A and B are shown apart, each in its own frame.
Chain A
């Protein structure tokens, strides 16, 4: 076991840190979270800067146009971006972390040439059309149909929880091409251009009041067969292949941000005169210990990936623990704030000092509720852990 970074890793860190120090001040002001076109412009401009500096597609293989960084370098990259307060991947999420890697692994040479460079350069934004109103945790029950008609598939159905749909150029879409009950064996992966006719995007308002995701309705949308990645009816495997790219780095930014958040909560507790209260202090200590434990787990997973170990279902262990911890951190924040946690907007601090930061803490608390649901509910994660790691029988 070794927690020290190698000289090469430290060199990589230093160069990145220098570049971030030079580059971040040139970035424009952060857009309003409600202004999707502005968010797209901001996030894609940042992606372009990363690309120009050789950091676009940091973990993508070189043959896919990426930097081909190993898992440890990837971890260092995420650490440095978080430390410098760089923008998150934002609207580039699906393209960079899911659709792109899928095409790298399963696409034809033509598809790679057509789809990958615009993702890396921040020119095309992707969204994800997987879940459906009737296919959530049970994704293989999806019913959106695609029927072959000459050189096109004709797609009809609906999708839900599609983030960034309003500003996306393409959608990675899972459709049913096999018989109605073909489950995993009758699904096909398509890249659907969002400007095609027959697509309706209906934004959904979350309990946080924002429109982070949308419903997607497709009425006889024509998608070229040339946009099918992998064989017909093999889309489930194509989708799962992407998961094998996961090297334990998925939550690094959020984990480090949570540590920073906890430190800011300590400052708040001190300012509010609550730090002398043992319960307040010790609750924070316990949350900190759990964050440190999950940070250690992250470093172990990344190290295992760096040794070339098969990425397992360990991600479920982390996701389960982290999403629930994040909720408890959110609850701690509103408990510190007391009545100030009733306001979404930033309140005037009664002591005349700096803003309390109540708006951010309320936001953290409310958005925490989605974490144990999105990307596999905690209940599904527990089933995965129990069945695939512990070997308990399927129910």
Chain B
């Protein structure tokens, strides 16, 4: 057993972090606020870095890595708040031609109840849309969908469309859909862990420099303890996500469904609670548009809503524990 990043995995994480810092600094992402189309040059760069083809076989141009390595990469993408249907496009490699090399952007949406409005992110950038339900995974042509744009998305970096979901063409049966959903949960959780770490770093940086009563606010235990709890949540969720990803790669070590559902529960909580604490630590500035804490809060909502509801995740753990 050696459950920590290997040298290669650390290099992978560092490389992805450098790419994100250089290519997707928050200022640049924010310049795209309100854009309804994805920056395809940026998407091509992500593809070039292997974000979508990481787990594809070497014969088809992939790196033949596992879920554990993908989780390491997706944590960095989450930390940098990179926009777009990253997880869906990654999971579509091998399922949708052109997804692995970034030629085709692929989205996924979960089919809800009949009276629940269906929302799809980045619809006009999508070359394919996958619809996930309990019976299977279905492919839909995005251009054929009856849709109308949502004027204001809570995540300013993620445009939404309200759609009427058609049946679509089945590309996976119930079992395939379940494993797609499980992998989707794990990589989405990795994004959430990255966000939970980013808001922790922001809160700590602010608490170290912002002074009141003649000293940094981080010297007060009330603020310190908020930050300590943020670290506990982010780090526990990170361990859970690594564990779930590796359990999928090495099925003999445990129950991947239980691990994935549990990791998602912890990651959703870590990202949303840490965003909230980050806003709180920033005081009045935390409630402004200028401080990006709200972007993390809203993105964590968006990612959480792409997963099964937390009640269903908790049921999965409860039944399989």
Chain A window 1-38, contacts with chain B (Cβ cutoff 8 Å), 1 for yes, 0 for no: 11111100100000000000000000000000000000
Question: Inside 8 A of B315's CB, which chain A residues have their CB?
Answer: 278, 281-282, 285
Q: Closest approach, in angstroms, between the C-beta of B139 and any C-beta of chain A?
A: 32
| Contact status B242-A391, CB under 8 Å | no
B220 on interface, CB distance cutoff 8 Å:
yes
Q: Contacts A289-B262, A320-B232: A386 and B68 contacting too (C-beta < 8 A)?
A: no
B261 on interface, CB distance cutoff 8 Å:
yes
Using CB atoms, name the residue of chain B closest to A299.
B3
Question: Inside 8 A of B41's CB, which chain A residues have their CB?
Answer: none
Question: Inside 8 A of B252's CB, which chain A residues have their CB?
Answer: 4
Question: Inside 8 A of A285's CB, which chain B residues have their CB?
Answer: 261-262, 265, 313-319, 321
Q: Contacts A282-B314, A393-B215: A1 and B225 contacting too (C-beta < 8 A)?
A: no
Using CB atoms, name the residue of chain A closest to B262.
A289
Using CB atoms, name the residue of chain B closest to A298.
B239
**Complex formed: what's the CA distance from A304 to B313 in Å?**
30
Question: Inside 8 A of A5's CB, which chain B residues have their CB?
Answer: 1
| Contact status A284-B318, CB under 8 Å | yes
Q: Contacts A4-B250, A282-B311, A285-B315: A293 and B219 contacting too (C-beta < 8 A)?
A: no
**Complex formed: what's the CA distance from A38 to B315 in Å?**
44
Q: Which of B215, B219, B243, B314 contacts A292 (CB 8 A)?
A: B243
Name the prevailing secondary structure of the A interface residues.
helix
B229 on interface, CB distance cutoff 8 Å:
yes
A389 on interface, CB distance cutoff 8 Å:
yes
Interface centre among A296, A299, A307 (most CB of B within 10 A): A296
Name the prevailing secondary structure of the B interface residues.
helix
| Contact status B2-A395, CB under 8 Å | no
Chain B window 46-73, contacts with chain A (Cβ cutoff 8 Å), 1 for yes, 0 for no: 0000000000000000000000100000
Question: Inside 8 A of B219's CB, which chain A residues have their CB?
Answer: 392-395
Using CB atoms, name the residue of chain A closest to B261.
A289
| Contact status B266-A293, CB under 8 Å | yes
**Complex formed: what's the CA distance from A389 to B204 in Å?**
11
**Complex formed: what's the CA distance from A296 to B3 in Å?**
8
| Contact status A379-B225, CB under 8 Å | yes
Q: Contacts A288-B321, A321-B232: A379 and B1 contacting too (C-beta < 8 A)?
A: no
A303 on interface, CB distance cutoff 8 Å:
yes
Q: Closest approach, in angstroms, between the C-beta of A230 and any C-beta of chain B?
A: 32
Q: Closest approach, in angstroms, between the C-beta of A283 and any C-beta of chain B?
A: 8
Interface centre among A5, A263, A303 (most CB of B within 10 A): A303
Using CB atoms, name the residue of chain A closest to B69.
A1
| Contact status B232-A288, CB under 8 Å | no
B218 on interface, CB distance cutoff 8 Å:
yes
List residues of chain B with CB under 8 Å of any chain A CB: 1-6, 9, 68, 200, 204, 207-208, 215-216, 218-221, 223-225, 227-229, 231-232, 235-237, 239-240, 242-243, 246-247, 250, 252-254, 258-259, 261-263, 265-266, 310-311, 313-319, 321
8 nearest CB pairs, A to B: A285-B314, A289-B262, A285-B318, A296-B243, A282-B314, A386-B224, A296-B239, A285-B317
The contact sample of 12 A-B pairs, CB cut-off 8 A, is: A3-B246, A262-B321, A266-B321, A285-B316, A285-B321, A289-B263, A295-B243, A297-B239, A299-B239, A392-B227, A394-B219, A395-B220
